[in-house]
Structure 1
Amino acid sequence: MSLSNDASTPSSSDRRVVLVAPDKFRGSLSAPEVVEAATAGARAAGWDVIGLPMADGGEGMLDAFGGANRTSSVTGPTGQPVQARWRLGEDGVAVIESAAASGLVLAGGKEGNDPVGATSAGTGELIAQAALAGARRIIVGLGGSAMSDGGRGAVEATLAGLDGRRPADLGAELLAACDVQTPFVEAAQVFGPQKGATSEQVVELTGRLFALQGEYVERFGVDVSLTSGAGAAGGLGGGLLVLGGELVPGLRLVAEQVGLEEAVGRADAIVTGEGALDAESFNGKVVGGVVDAAEPEGLPVVVVTGVVRDDAPATRLAGLRVVDLSATYGAAASWNDTAACIQRAVTEQLSTL
C-alpha cells in the first residue's frame, strides 16, 4: 500500500512533515475521516502530511487496508442473509471483518441478539470466497461479533465452501487480527454479557465451549486451549486456528501493511488519536503503538481524543501533547462536530512546534 504523501514535491522540500496515524473515533468518524480532518488542520499550520489510517483489529481493518472493494451475500449472525463488504487487493491480500458478516450490530445489538443461537457462519463463507478468489493471504479482523459459538459456524462454512479443504490447501495464509488474550473456554464468560447473554446463558455457552474444545482435538487434532486469544470474537479465534490460521496482534499486521515504521522515519512530528483515551489505549491499541514507534526517533506526538478517561495512564501521557476535545471545545462540539474540532486542535498544536 502506498503512503498518502505530499511531502516529496519540490515546492514543499523546505516544509516539515507530520505523520497522521489515528484510529477511528467510534460512532463519530472513521480513521480515514480523522486523517482527512487532521490533514486539513496540519496544512493550515504549514505542514505537509503523510496520512495513514490505522486499526488494531476488528472494525476499521478494511479502512486501514484501503477500503472494501467487494460485497458478498452471506449468512448473518441470526441466520438471515446480510451483505458483507470485504477486500481483495491486487497484492493478493484479502481483508475480512468478522463484524461485517457476524457482527452484533447486524443482530440488533445487545437487546436484539440471540447470544446462544448467533453464528459465525458468514465469516467462514467469506474466508472460503477469498480463498477461491485466489487470495494468498487472508486477514480476518476479530471484533464486534454477536456470537459465542467457538467459531463452529465459521469452521463448517469454510470447509463446506472449500469442499473439505482449508485455505492453506489452496495456497492461502490465514491470519486472525486479535488484540485480546482470552482463553477459548472463557469467551462466553468474558464477552457473553455484552452480547446480551444472561448468567444462565453464560453457563450454557461455557459448557458448549468446553465440549467444542474437545471436539476440535478429536476431529482436527488442534488443541485451542494452548493458544492465548483463542476466545476472541466468541471463540472465533479458536475456530480459525482449527482452519490452520494464526492469531497475530492486529496492530502489528496493520503497521506492517501500511508501512508505519517507514513513515515514522520520514516525519518531523506525529498526530494520532482515538475516540476515548483510557487504560487500554496503550495495551496493543493504535495510540500506544504509534507512540511506541515515535519514541526511538524522539518525535513530538500530538494525541487527539474525544475524551480522556479517568483511568488513562498518566505515566504514558507524560511528554505527549494530549488534546481532550470535550474538555477543550465542549462535549457537544466534540461529539457532533468532531472533524472541525480535530482540524482546529491539529492546527493549534502544530503551529506551536
Structure 2
Amino acid sequence: MLLIAPDSFKGTFTAREVAAAIARGVPLDVAVELCPVADGGEGTLDVVLAASQGSAERVAAHDPLGRRVDAPLGWLDGGRTAIVEMAGASGLALVPESERDAEAASTRGTGELIAAAVASGARRIVVMAGGSATTDGGAGALEAIADGGGLRGAALVVACDVTTSFEHAATVYGPQKGASPVAVERLTRRLHSSAAALPRDPRGVPMTGAAGGLAGALWAVHGAQLVGGADWVLGAVGFDARLARAAAVVTGEGRLDRQTFAGKLVGTVATRCRRAGVPLHAVVGSLTLTDRETRELGLASVHAAPDEAAMAAAGSTIADDLAASRRPSTARDSLRHNDCEEHMPVGIAKHRGLG
C-alpha cells in the first residue's frame, strides 16, 4: 500500500488537493490510502476536523491589521475541545504582500478566538500556531484573552510548526512577513523587552518563537503546553497506524528548505518513516536543499511538482519505483476495500472503481 500524506502547498493547493493529485498518477493496481496532514500552519484545522469528524463555526475577530474577519473555530469531543487555527485570524495569507507590516501586525484576533472558545464552554483549547503575519510576541492575543475574562480554568495547548525560540522569531521569520533588516532589529529588541516583562522568560525555550512569539507568550502567562504541531496532527489523524500498513510513504510541502529540519511536516514524517523502516518519497513545490541535506532527511526520492499535472507524474514515477523494488505481495501491502473508501475523496474512489 502507498500512503500519501502531504502538507498543503501554502497559498496554492490544500493538503487534500495535493494528495488527490498525486494519487491520480498511481496505477489502478497499486493500493493507495490518502492521509492529508499539516504541521500547525494554514490548513491544519481542515485536516484535523476531517479526520476527527469535528465541526466548525465562524467567529467575528480582527485580522493582523485590525480589520474585521470571520475566522473559523473548530470543535472536537462534543464541544469539550476547541481548535484555534491562528492563521485564520492572524495569518500571513490574510494580508496582501503590498500591505504586510511585521511591526504593526497583531495577534489580537487569535486571542479573540481563544476567548470565544472559553465563552462557549471549552475545557481544552488547542492553538495551531503557524502561518502567522505577526511578530508581536503574542501581545495582542494576551490583551484579547484578558478582555474576555481569562481562560477560566480551560487548559491551553499550543501546536507549534517550528522549534525556534522566542528571541529569534524576528530574525528567522520577520523578512517573509515584510520586515526590512532594520525592522528585524527593532522587532528583536521588542521581543527581548517583552520577554523580560513576562511572568516566565521564554527566551531559549524551544518552540516559544512559533507564530512570532505567540507560543512563548501563552506559555509564559497561561502555562500553555507547547507541542510539535506536526507530531500533534499526525497523532490526531492516526498516522502511525496507517504507516504500519504501508510499503512506502509519499509526503510533501510547498517548499523543501532548511526550515524542514526545524519541526516542519516533512522532517517529522521522515523521522517516523526511518523508525518504521518504510521508504519515504517527497513531492514538493520547490527545493533548495542540497543532495546531502535530502539524504540527511532519509528521502528515497524528491520530485519538484509546482502543479497538479506534475504531482500526478510524480505519483506515477514513485509507484513504478515501488513496483520494481517491493517483494511479493503480503497482507501488510494490501488495503481493504472499506479503508480505501473511507480515506479517499469521492472522486479518487470512483477513479479506482470503488465508488
Normalised-by-shorter TM-score class: 0.7 to 0.9
Q: Which residue of 1 aligns with 2:336?
A: none
Partner of 2:5: 21
Cα distance in 2 for partners of 1:294, 1:304 equals 16
**How far apart are 1:350 and its partner, in Å?**
4.2
Q: Secondary structure at the match of 2:49?
A: coil
Match of 2:296 in 1: 316
CA deviation string 1:154-177 (max 9, x = no partner):
01101212x2x22xx33x321112
Q: Which residue of 2 aligns with 1:146?
A: 133
Identify the residue that residue 58 of structure 1 maps to in structure 2.
41
Q: Which amino acid aligns with 1:147?
A: T
The aligned residue for residue 83 of structure 2 is 95
Is residue 224 of structure 1 aligned with residue 202 of structure 2?
yes
Q: Distance in 2 between matches of 1:32 and 1:314?
A: 24
Sort the Cα spacing of 1:316 and 1:75 in 2 relative to 1 into closer, same or farther, 3 A: same
State how far apart, in whole Å, the 2-side matches of 1:306 and 1:205 are: 30
Mapped to 2, the partners of 1:315 and 1:258 lie a distance apart of 27
Q: CA RMSD in A?
A: 2.6
Task: Provide the C-alpha distance between the structure 1 equivalents of 2:262 and 2:101, rounded to a whole number of angstroms.
Answer: 31
- TM-score normalised per structure 1: 0.80
2:190 to 204, 208, 226: 208
Matches within 5 A, 1:172-187: 172-187=154-169
Aligned counterparts of 1:179 and 1:88: Cα–Cα separation in 2: 21
In 2, the alpha carbon distance for the partners of 1:336 and 1:302 equals 17
Q: Deviations over 1:112-131 (max 9, x none)?
A: 12322221100001111122
Q: Of 266, 283, 286, which residue of structure 1 is paired with 2:245? A: 266
Cα shift at 1:314: 4.2
Q: Deviations over 1:167-205 (max 9, x none)?
A: xx33x3211122333332333333323222234433433
- Residue 116 of structure 1 aligns with which residue? 103
The question of 1:84 aligning with 2:66 is answered no
Q: Counterpart of 1:234 in structure 2: which amino acid?
A: G
- The match for 2:212 is 234
The answer on 1:189 being equivalent to 2:168 is: no
- Counterparts in 2 of 1:117 and 1:19: CA distance versus 1, 3 Å: same
Distance in 2 (alpha carbons) for counterparts of 1:157 and 1:256: 30
Does the aligned pair in 2 maintain the 1:61–1:95 contact within 8 Å?
Answer: no
Whether the 8 Å contact between 1:55 and 1:251 is mirrored in structure 2 is yes
Q: What is the one-letter code of the residue matched to 1:64?
A: V
- Rate the CA distance shift 1:79–1:255 in 2: closer, same or farther, 3 A: same
Higher alpha-carbon deviation: 121-130 or 44-53: 44-53
Structure-2 change in CA distance of 1:268 and 1:136 (3 Å): farther
Identity %: 39
Distance (Å, rounded) in 2 between the aligned partners of 1:74 and 1:160: 13
Name the CA distance, whole Å, in 1 between partners of 2:288 and 2:175: 23
The residue aligned with 2:61 is 74
Counterpart for residue 309 of structure 2: 337
- Counterpart residue type for residue 341 of structure 1: A
Where has structure 1 moved over 4 Å in runs of 4 or more? none
1:152: how far off?
0.8
| Conserved? CA contact 1:279–1:311, under 8 Å | no
Q: How many residues align?
A: 318
Aligned to 1:331: none
Amino acid at match of 1:302: H
| Cα offset, 1:214, TM superposition | 2.8
2:330 alignment partner in structure 1: none
Match of 2:32 among 49, 54, 63: 49
Residue 283 of structure 1, CA deviation: 4.1
The alpha-carbon distance between structure 1 residues 192 and 226, as it changes in their structure 2 partners (threshold 3 A), is closer
In the alignment, the residues of structure 2 paired with residue 177 and residue 196 of structure 1 have an alpha-carbon distance, to the nearest angstrom, of: 24
Aligned partners of 1:25, 1:201: CA distance in 2, in Å? 28
* Inter-CA distance 308–238: structure 2 relative to 1 (3 Å threshold): closer
- Give the Cα–Cα distance (whole angstroms) in 1 for the partners of residues 140 and 263 of structure 2: 28
Q: How big is the shift at 1:343?
A: 4.5
Is residue 267–residue 297 contact of structure 2 (8 Å, CA) maintained in 1? Answer: no
Q: 1:79/1:265 Cα in 2 relative to 1: closer, same or farther (>3 Å)?
A: same
CA separation in 1, counterparts of 2:117 and 2:2? 36
TM-score (norm 2): 0.79
CA distance in 1, matches of 2:264, 2:138: 24
Q: Which runs of 5+ in 1 are unaligned?
A: 1-16, 327-333
